[in-house]
Structure 1
Amino acid sequence: AIHVKHSIDSELCFQLQTHKQTDPLPIIHYKKSTQRKSKPPLTNARSPSPSPSPPRKRVQPPSNDTRCSSRIAKRNIDKQCLGDKSALKKAKSAYEKERNRREMVVKLRRETTIAEELHVKEKTAALKKKMQQRRQRRKR
């Protein structure tokens, strides 16, 4: 038997009991409590509509320029179709610079982690040495 709380409708509870055999995860609908109604809703302050629609992606009109290659589009350089070669070159160089910068960041991160590991190893070795010296002193 399910314990019926005051916030859950008893009929819904009965439905849950009958659902148990077929549906492994029944959806529980809670009654709105009277305390919540007194509080002003937070969503109204920001947006007048109760459920704002998700932002739509802008569909780009098909370009007449056939020089625009799909390879450039793959690299996300092609924001607006790059027809002239100078703009294309600039975009490519910017892409290369960004890639090199990312590689450098990864390399530096790897080097710092290695250095940190070495430092930790040295510290533990020093601690072990100290402990050995203490043991030797106690033996004497």
Structure 2
Amino acid sequence: MSRLVLTDDTGGWFGPMALEDMPNFFETYLCDPNAPYCGFQSWDDYFTRQLRPGARPVECLEDNGVINSACESTVYCIANNVKERDSFWLKGQPYSLRDMFHDDPFTNLFPNQWPRYQDEDDTWSLFFAIASSHKWLTG
């Protein structure tokens, strides 16, 4: 039932207007445009869709000054020199590192000791667009 909107009908997620907002969708994601629902088994399957090999290249692996995003997103906010109890906003709510890491004992290792960035303790917030995949890719 949840995948009924995954059609190429006028109001469907693969309709003309939707595909204007998702250029190269079929070239970027593992799916079958000829299969029912493009081969997605559920709405969740669609939102956590897999990338085709090579669709998101990873650059400068040896350069610790380069951040490769693990998800489809746009930079929303960058905060510099963040301390354990500093507040910054996520989804309209104030958070601290302590909140984000749920009081994990290793939280205190982030500020002032992050091994790759000796002089900076930065965070960045990312915004997921509604049409973006919501899968976090690592490794």
If the length of structure 1 is used for normalisation, what is the TM-score?
0.14
In terms of Rg, which structure is larger?
1
User: Larger relative contact order (C-alpha < 8 A, sep ≥ 6)?
Assistant: 2
If the length of structure 2 is used for normalisation, what is the TM-score?
0.14
Which is helix-richer, 1 or 2? 1
